[in-house]
Structure 1
Amino acid sequence: MIDWSSVRALVLGDVMLDRYLEGDVNRISPEAPVPVVRLTHEWYRPGGAGNVAASLAGLGCRTTLAGAAGEDPEVDRLRRALFDAGVADCALVERPGSRTICKTRVVSHGHHQLLRLDQDGGRDDFRAAGDDLRRRLPELLADQDVVVLSDYDKGTLTPGLVRATIEACRERAIPCIVDPKQLDFRVYSGATLLTPNLLEARRAVGRSLDDDESVGEACAELRVTLDLDAMLITRGADGMTLATGCALHHFPAEVRQVADVTGAGDTVAAVLAACLGGGLPVDQACRAASVAAGIAVGHPGCYVVQGAELDWALRGCSPKVRSIEAAARWAAGQRRAGRSIVFTNGCFDILHAGHLTCLEQARRLGDALIIGLNSDASVRGLKGPERPVVHENHRAALLAGLACVDGVVVFDEPTPERLIRAIEPDVLVKGGDYAVDGIVGAEIVRARGGRVVTIPLVPGLSTTSILAASRAAENRRAAS
């Protein structure tokens, strides 16, 4: 797969700040038939073109974001959110007297959206910012491997800026991916790849697109008409359709379970850009984008897919299985969103009902459960040369398949101390056969204000007892 860290990407477009207000809803207001929300958490994250940049940074790409904002408190929060997301460079044109685009969502626990409040910037100010960015194009494009135009029709991507960017990318042989919002796609002519959704494509061709054949015809038609290298129509649950000069491809959706489709289009644009910037053919880039979108929509809220997470998924592994670095970033993002992290660890050799009971109880102690899984080498060091019975990859896959599990990290050390320090869980859980003070990592978690909890084991259920019963049965068969 691609070395994501080697890809340098520029995102140009309409930058937004997403603000989330989360709370408990227990009653209806006596003043009006609306829910009363008791605020418990507030957090911010990049939106619009900022989410595309955050998604590229999440993969590990060196990312620059250019766009427009106001001179207001929101721009400071936006810059902080971009920094937290790992966006390396920001080229935000701050227009005096204008406002940063901000979308405030009021959500209940469980991320059910109750209300959205939109604060838009001045279109004239943003058009002027677009003209400033056009003059700065040579410096912005320097040393870039790929460019994304993220158009949310807020004014930043003026026709002049769009045309100048596409032409400059052609001259420099830099792939230019466009996520469009304009009704007339002709302004995007000459781009490397255009990625409208099905509704946007319908509007562009002026007819219904109801099946693979009609979508394929529209895709091929738009590619030729707009002089594109490739045309991609994203179709939600029906996957994606790609037209190149050589072939037409239909990619099925890679979705296991849909939690929230917010930001899926940004994920697709970001992964396409990272792949094309890294030199992958467009059909392979589309497959990777489809897999990434499937990961993203399986999480509540606007989820940023990590590079290691996508690499695992492309190799056929569960996206829940993460490296220690990816798990730490994921946990940090969950905490910023006001969610609490539960951690437990073990060998889980021959997964049984006792394991499942303990894991389900652990998950109920917080909002997300991460499991530290002893590697095969670690298990041998703890339990002897005949263990484990089940390979670490298979044990990880079984754990990741449980609905109560949100992440699995395989570790080689005898204890999970390094993993606990990296993930910083809010709750540390072990089975009832451990004394609380003897649990590895207890002091680390308590020092951060977290809890350490023991859960009673299911009597008579353990891997050791299962193996002993199996050996006894084999001995009886051999003796009979």
Structure 2
Amino acid sequence: MCAAVDTHLTDPTPAIGAEPDTAQRLVVVGDVLLDRDITGTANRLSPEAPVPILSGAQTAHRPGGAGLAAVLAAREPGWRVTLVCGIGQDEPGAQLRALLDETGVEVIDLATSGTTPVKTRVRAADRTLLRFDTDTDLVPLGPLPDPVRTRLAEAAAVLVCDYGRGITSHDELRQALASAAADRPLVWDPHPKGTAPVPGTTLAVPNTDEALHFSGHPGPRDLAGDTARAVQLLAAWPVKQVAVTRGRDGAVLVADADGHPLAIPARRAAGDTCGAGDQLAVTTAVTLAAGRLPSHAMAVAVEAATGYVEAGGPASLTAPPAPGRTDPLELTARVRARGGKVVGAGGCFDLLHAGHLSLLEQARRLGDALIVCINSDTSVRRLKGEDRPVVGERERAALLAALDSVIVVGEDTPERVLAELRPDLWVKGGDYSGRRIAEADLVENWGGEVVTVPFLEGHSTTTRIHHVAQQADAR
């Protein structure tokens, strides 16, 4: 599977009050630290003690805690990220700030002094052999500056990543967060050494250990036990809903103590899980900001966290896309290198239905890899009208992600993408039969072929939308 979206990192955040585009604001509040990974090869034991010898070690640094959540959020297309935190005034703190600046995250630092905690992992063969943390006192925090209130007022969503180092006990900040929660989604990721969520929190997302700590419920660490803990926390905390995240088992969401819990299973994924909870929390916040229900947001977030682990966890922040998974050009080259045939198909794919699936299944059978180009939301509006699309480009891409690769394109016809991919076959539905397809000349320039496949009668997105509208009017 390869699900590639034509997006890029957001530009560095401009000065407060100067927003030149329509990007939405996400405010991340939480404790930060510096993460250090020492990675090498361990293929023999020391003669001095039964411990592995690490050779060829390399060291990498990255923001940790709420800093990692902010970096992950900055990779979301269409979002500007502000991180409210406390960074120690020392060398690790300076390094942490520089790393955050590189990703375009705006930092509002509440610290007045102090040292920055550092978490070091020694790793080999994708496994952690040893972890050691620096012991530091809590960073002293000053009064809440006005820019924090400004950014919270602008925010489309707020995410609190509590790592138990004191920022969520800041009285002025808690009051500002409670005010922000009144009219925008606020997601709270708690910590056993931290505080309870502020009143009005949309969704709290403790993991099993955190839920056990806060609820005191001693039940088994299974679905029933986590559900019971979520019910207790829903009653104890001033939050609207609670989702207990369950690692490789997904999550369980409780919205009403008397209702049925929503169990959200996860696909099995092997890899470095460091930061998976942050990815889940970030995805939950931005999905809620899009107007989705918490049930939908949690389902999307569990899948995003799984994908993050599959991609290598924190290593994916600096590593190039994995071959054949996220880069359609790489997939195309790999298929051609082994003598395979690349098939392309395109369309809006709004309200995915059986007709679309018929087209894509037939197209996939014509070659060895299928790359689907879907029109962006802006392009669909130009082609279909201002009331379209019904389903946004991110969700349409996700629905098609089980195919080999998906690209979102801004053009009405994907000439630029086709020129890069040069598919051997370009496939359209049979409703195009009898007329020349706009991009045919381009495809034929490199020896490619344009074909149509049988159209499944009675399945049209426009017809379906009209039918639904008529039913609504009849009511």
Q: TM-score, normalised by structure 2?
A: 0.62
Distance change (3 Å), C-alpha of 1:388 and 1:212:
closer
Structure 2 residue identity aligned to 1:242 = L
Q: Equivalent residue for 2:351?
A: none
How far apart are residue 201 of structure 1 and its match? Answer: 1.2
> Does 2:294 align with 1:277?
no
* Structure-to-structure mapping, 1:6-25, within 5 angstroms: 6-25=23-42
Cα gap change, 1:224/1:409 in structure 2, threshold over 3 Å: closer, same or farther?
closer
1:192 aligns to what SS in structure 2?
strand
Match of 1:434 in 2: none
How far apart are 1:263 and its partner, in Å? Answer: 1.4
Asked if 2 retains the 8 angstrom alpha-carbon contact of 1:348 and 1:395, the reply is no
**Could you tell me which residue of structure 1 aligns to residue 85 of structure 2?**
67
In structure 1, what is the equivalent of residue 370 of structure 2? 395
- SS of residue paired to 1:28: coil
User: Retained in 2: the 8 A contact 1:239–1:250?
Assistant: no
Choose the corresponding residue for 2:133, options 118, 130, 155. Answer: 118
Aligned pairs for 1:5-84 (under 5 A) are: 6-60=23-77, 61-84=79-102
3-state DSSP of counterpart to 1:103 = strand
- Aligned equivalents of 1:161, 1:236: Cα separation in 2: 33
Aligned to 2:356: none
Aligned equivalents of 1:6 and 1:28: distance in 2? 52
1:103 to 110, 119, 128: 119
- 1:384 matched to which residue of 2? none
**Partner residue, 1:89:** 106
The amino acid across from 2:312 in the alignment is P
- Which residue number corresponds to residue 349 of structure 2? none
Query: How many angstroms apart in 1 are the aligned matches of 2:55 and 2:194?
Result: 44
Structure 2 spans left out of the alignment, 5+ residues: 11-21, 347-361, 373-403, 408-415, 423-475
* Paired letter, 1:102: V
Residue matched to 1:288: 300
Q: Sequence identity of aligned pairs in percent?
A: 26
Task: Select the residue among 216, 234, 238 that pairs with 1:206.
Answer: 216
> Of 234, 241, 246, which aligns to 1:230?
241
Question: What is the CA distance between 1:116 and its match in structure 2?
Answer: 1.8
1:264/1:297 contact within 8 Å kept: yes
Question: Deviation string for 1:123-179 (max 9, x for gaps)?
Answer: 1xx2x32x43476531331311111111111122225255313322134x1221111
Residue 121 of structure 1: CA displacement? Answer: 3.5
When the two structures are aligned, how many residues end up with a matched partner? 345
Closer, same or farther: CA 415–141 of 1 in aligned 2, 3 Å: closer
Alignment of 1:21-420 (within 5 A): 21-60=38-77, 61-84=79-102, 86-96=103-113, 98-108=114-124, 110-123=125-138, 126=139, 128-129=140-141, 131-133=142-144, 137-161=148-172, 163-171=174-182, 173-182=183-192, 186=196, 188-210=198-220, 211-245=222-256, 247-302=259-314, 321-322=325-326, 345-346=332-333, 348=335, 355=338, 375=344, 390=365, 395=370, 412-413=417-418
Deviation at 1:183, TM superposition (A): 5.9
Q: Which amino acid aligns with 1:83?
A: D
Query: Which AA in structure 2 matches 1:78?
Result: L
Name the CA shift for 1:294/1:9 in 2 (closer, same or farther; >3 Å).
same
CA 1:393 to 1:292, structure 2 compared with 1: closer, same or farther past 3 Å?
farther
| Cα displacement string for residues 40-94 of structure 1 (whole angstroms, at most 9, x for unaligned residues) | 422111110011111111222211111111222222321232234x343111345
In 2, Cα distance between the equivalents of 1:389 and 1:274? 33
Distance 2:255 2:234 in 1: 7
**Partners in 2 of 1:347 and 1:319 — Cα distance?**
8
Aligned residues of 1:263 and 1:303 also touching (Cα < 8 A): no
**Which structure's residues are more often helix, by fraction?**
1
Q: What is the aligned-residue RMSD (CA, Å)? A: 3.9
Relative CO higher for 1 or 2, CA cutoff 8 Å, sep ≥ 6?
A: 2
Are the aligned partners of 2:126 and 2:272 in contact in 1 as well (CA < 8 Å)?
no
Task: Pick closer, same or farther for the CA change 1:59–1:18 going to 2, 3 Å.
Answer: same
Q: 1:159 to 1:320 in 2, by over 3 A?
A: farther
TM-score by length of 1: 0.62
Name the aligned partner's letter for residue 63 of structure 2.
P
Work out the CA distance in 1 between the residues paired with 2:195 and 2:132.
29
Deviation of residue 320 (structure 1)? 6.2
Contact 1:216 1:248 in 2 (8 A): no
